[in-house]
Structure 1
Amino acid sequence: PVADFEPTVWLRLVDGSVIVGSSFTATSDAATVGLAGGQSLEIPTRQIHSVRFHSASNALTEQWAEAVDKDVRGDRLVVRKSPESINYLEGLIAEVDAKVVNFRYEGSDVKAPRERLEGLVYFHALKPDFAAPVCRVHDANGCVWQAKSFAASDRSVEVTCLSNVRVSLPLGQIDKFDFSTGNLVFLSDLEPQTSEWTPWFASATLPEALSLMYSPKRDRSFANGPMLLRQQGDQVSYDKGLSLHSRTKLTYRLTGDHRKLVAQVGMDARVGSAGHVELTITGDNRELFKREITGADEAFPLDVDISGVRRLEILVDYGKNMDLADHLNLCDAMLTQ
C-alpha cells in the first residue's frame, strides 16, 4: 500500500467495483474521490451504488446490507446511531462536502454532519445489466476494479471499468489481475433453489431469531466476521464462501456446464477442536462426496467432479456431538468450467 495512505471512504460502483479512498465530495451529478498517491478520480453519481464513511463493522454487517439493497426507492442517508446501530432516511442527495451532506427529505433541506453518518446510498430506477468483466484488477490499497478493458505501460495500467469509469493505476500498486471471472462462479453468489436448516431439538414452531442465527451465511462466518480455517498450523482468513451449521441442506439448480466444485473446507477455527459434522455432496441424486469433519481436523481442499450435474445438493448433517459448535466453512467455494 502507499505509505501514509489512510482510507476514510469506501465506494461500491453499480458494476461491482470497490474503491477505497481518502476523500469524497459530490454534486448531484458527479463525485470526486481521492485515491492513494494523491490522485483524484471523477465519477458520475449515476455510476455509484453506495458510499461508506466507516470501515466495515461486524456489528453492522446485516444492517448495512439491508440499508444499501433492501427496497430502495430513493437516495438514502444512513445515520450511525451507535457503533452497533444504524438507521436511514430516504430522499435526495443534493451535495456532499468534506464535513456535511446536503440531503432533501420530505420537502426540507437537511444538513447532516458526515461524522454522524455511516454512509450514503444512491438510488437508480433502472438497474444496469453488465457483461462479465475481462478481469478484476486488485490494487494494493484494497480497490477492486471490474475491468471491461485495460492497457499496461512501463509505469501504469489504464483500466476502463464496466461502468466506463477510467482510472490510471501505478504498476507498482497492482496486487493481481484475476482472469478467472468468466470461468467460475462463487457458490455464495448464487441463490439456492432450496435452503433448509433443521435444529437438533425439533420444534413445531421454530423461532425466527433462532432460524436467522443458524441459517447459512454467505461470505461471512457465524461470528459475523471473515471465515477462518486452520491450515498448516496457522489461521487463514477468507472473505468468500459459505458457513453452514448442522443440519443444513442446500439445493442448487445448475446448467450442466460446470465441471468441478472446489473449496477449502473445515470447521471455523474459532470453535477450536469442537464440532463434528458429516458433509455429503450429491449430484442428480448420486452421491459424489462424503466425509466426517471435526474441529480437530486441518482444513482440506475439496475437488468434486460435477460434470453434467443439474441438481446439486450440499448436506451438512449432525455428527457425534449433536449440533454443538458445528460451524463448517466452505471457503472460496466455486463452480468451475
Structure 2
Amino acid sequence: MVQIFNALVLLASTVVVALPVADITLIDGTQLNGEVTVISDAEVTVTVDGQAQAVAGEQLQSIVFNNNEAAIPEENKITVNLHDGSVLRAKSVLATATNARITIGEDLSHRLKSDSLASVQFKVLSDQAQQDYNRILKADSAGDVLIVLRPSGSIDELEGVIERVDSEAVTFNFDGDQIPVELSKLAGIKLLKPGSLKISKTACRLTDLQGNVWQACKFNLNKEEQSLEFETGLGDPISLKLERVQRLQYASSNVVYLSDLSPESAEWTPYLTGRLIRNRLNQLYAPVKDRSASGGPILIGKQEFTKGLSLRSKTVLTYRLTDGFNSLKLTAGLAAETRGRGHINLIILGDNKQLFQDSIADPSDIRQLELDIKGVRRLSITVDYGKNLDFGDLLHLGDAKLIK
C-alpha cells in the first residue's frame, strides 16, 4: 500500500501542464507559432523550436489560440454593452443596484459591477427598430432609459431609474413609483454612466468562441487552471478557460488598419451603366471589411487574413490621412473563385501621385506591397476593370495597414 501511495505521489509530481500553442503575428508581418508561456500587458513570451522569445506588447498585432470562427449560441439573444466598449452575447442577465451576473451558458457566467453596464438589448429587432434603438443609445440622457417596443414594432423611450433586471422583468422607478415591466414589452435599457466611473486603457480586444468581445488588460496566464485571467477596462476580473479563447487583437498606436477607417469616399461603378443597375447592385458590390464579399474569411492563396478589404471592380476608395504615416503595407490577390475569370488593374495613389499600378489576372498572382507614403495626406485605392470587364472580379487586400 505504501508503495502504491508513493507511486501516485511521484506520478502527480511529474504531471506536465500543457502550455497553449498560438499563432502570433507582429505588426511588421512576422509570424510565430509556439507555446505561450507568459502573457502580460508589457510582453508575451513564446517558445519556438525550444527557444523562448519575448515580444513587447507594442510589437504585437494578434495572438490566435483557436482558428475556429466564433459562434454565438442560438439561445443567446441578449446583447450587453459595457462602458469600456466590451460587447457580450448573453442567455440571461440579472442585475441589482450593485452587481450583475451575465449568463453565457449553463456552465459559464460572469459577475460584473452593475455600473459597468452601458445597455442591455433583450431581443433581435427589425432594421428600422434597430436604427431607432441605436439612436437612443447615442443620444444624451439625464438618467437611465427604458426602451419600449410597441406592438406595432416602433420604439419609444422613458427616462427614470433602472433598479433591477431579471429573467422576467425590469423594475423601473418613474417619479418614485416602482414599476415592473415585462421583458416581452421591451427592446432594451440604457444605463447612465456614473460620473465617478473610471475606464482604464486596455491592452487589446479579446474575442472568445461564444462571440463575446472583451476590452482586456492586466493579463495573467494561469497554467494550472488552463485559463487566461484579465480585467476589463472597468476593473471587472474575468477568467476564461483557454479552450474558450479565440484571439487577442492588439491596437498598436503605430498601426492603423484600412478596414478600421471610414474612407472619405467609396464609389463603386458597374461596367454596364444605368441608374437601375447601380441602385440594385450598389449595396451588393459595396466594399466589405474584414471578410470576403463572397462570404467567409479573406483568403489569399493559402493564407487567411482576419483584417482586410474585399473589393469588386470598379471601386475607388479615398482616405484622408490626418496622422503622419511612413508606409502602406498589404497583401493583394484575387479571390480563389475568380480563377479563369478575374482580371483587374490595381492603382494606388498618394496625393494624386502614382505609388503602384499593375494588373492581377490569377489568384496565384499574389502581391506583397510596402509603399512609402511619407507626407501623404490623401490616399486612394482603385480596383479597375481588366480584360474581362467586371465579370468575376473580386480583389482581396489582406492585412492592409498604415504604419507610422
TM-score, length-scaled by structure 2: 0.60
2:215 pairs with 1:149: no
Contact 2:332 / 2:366 at 8 angstroms: preserved in 1?
yes
Displacement of 1:276 in angstroms is 2.7
- Which amino acid letter does the alignment assign opposite residue 184 of structure 1? V
- Within 5 Å, give how 1:318-329 maps onto structure 2: 318-329=385-396
2:102 pairs with 1:33: yes
Contact 1:133 / 1:182 at 8 angstroms: preserved in 2?
no
What RMSD, in angstroms, separates the aligned Cα atoms of the two structures?
A: 4.5
Contact 2:300 / 2:398 at 8 angstroms: preserved in 1?
no
Q: Which of 82, 86, 102 in structure 2 is aligned with 1:13?
A: 82
Q: Which of 48, 51, 67 in structure 1 is aligned with 2:118?
A: 48
Give me the whole-angstrom Cα distance separating, in 1, the residues matched to 2:306 and 2:299: 11
Return closer, same or farther for 1:252/1:268 CA change in 2, 3 Å cut-off: farther
Q: Which runs of 5 or more structure 1 residues have no equivalent in the other structure? A: none
Tell me which structure has the larger Cα radius of gyration: 2
Displacement of 1:192 in angstroms is 1.3
Paired residue for 1:168? 239
- Which amino acid letter does the alignment assign opposite residue 312 of structure 1? L
Give me the whole-angstrom Cα distance separating, in 1, the residues matched to 2:366 and 2:241: 37
C-alpha deviations, 1:268-306, integer Å up to 9, x for none?
74x665433212112233322233234x51473643223
Contact 1:138 / 1:175 at 8 angstroms: preserved in 2?
yes
Return closer, same or farther for 1:145/1:274 CA change in 2, 3 Å cut-off: same
C-alpha deviations, 1:44-84, integer Å up to 9, x for none?
26533554657xx9xx8x77974564464475759799xxx
Q: Which runs of 5 or more structure 2 residues have no equivalent in the other structure? A: 1-65, 67-71
Contact 1:132 / 1:182 at 8 angstroms: preserved in 2?
no
Contact 2:300 / 2:396 at 8 angstroms: preserved in 1?
no
Q: Which of 278, 287, 294 in structure 2 is aligned with 1:216?
A: 287
Contact 1:268 / 1:328 at 8 angstroms: preserved in 2?
no
Return closer, same or farther for 1:303/1:268 CA change in 2, 3 Å cut-off: same
Give me the whole-angstrom Cα distance separating, in 1, the residues matched to 2:353 and 2:344: 20
2:299 pairs with 1:229: yes
Paired residue for 1:193? 264
- Within 5 Å, give how 1:155-304 maps onto structure 2: 155=225, 156-171=227-242, 173-203=244-274, 208-222=279-293, 225-229=295-299, 231-232=301-302, 236=304, 240-254=307-321, 255-263=323-331, 265-267=333-335, 269=337, 273-294=340-361, 296-298=362-364, 300=366, 302-304=368-370
- Which amino acid letter does the alignment assign opposite residue 188 of structure 1? S
- Which amino acid letter does the alignment assign opposite residue 11 of structure 1? V
Structure 1 SS opposite 2:112: strand
Displacement of 1:99 in angstroms is 4.6
Give me the whole-angstrom Cα distance separating, in 2, the residues matched to 1:324 and 1:87: 42
- Which amino acid letter does the alignment assign opposite residue 297 of structure 1? P
Give me the whole-angstrom Cα distance separating, in 1, the residues matched to 2:122 and 2:372: 39
Give me the whole-angstrom Cα distance separating, in 2, the residues matched to 1:298 and 1:76: 54
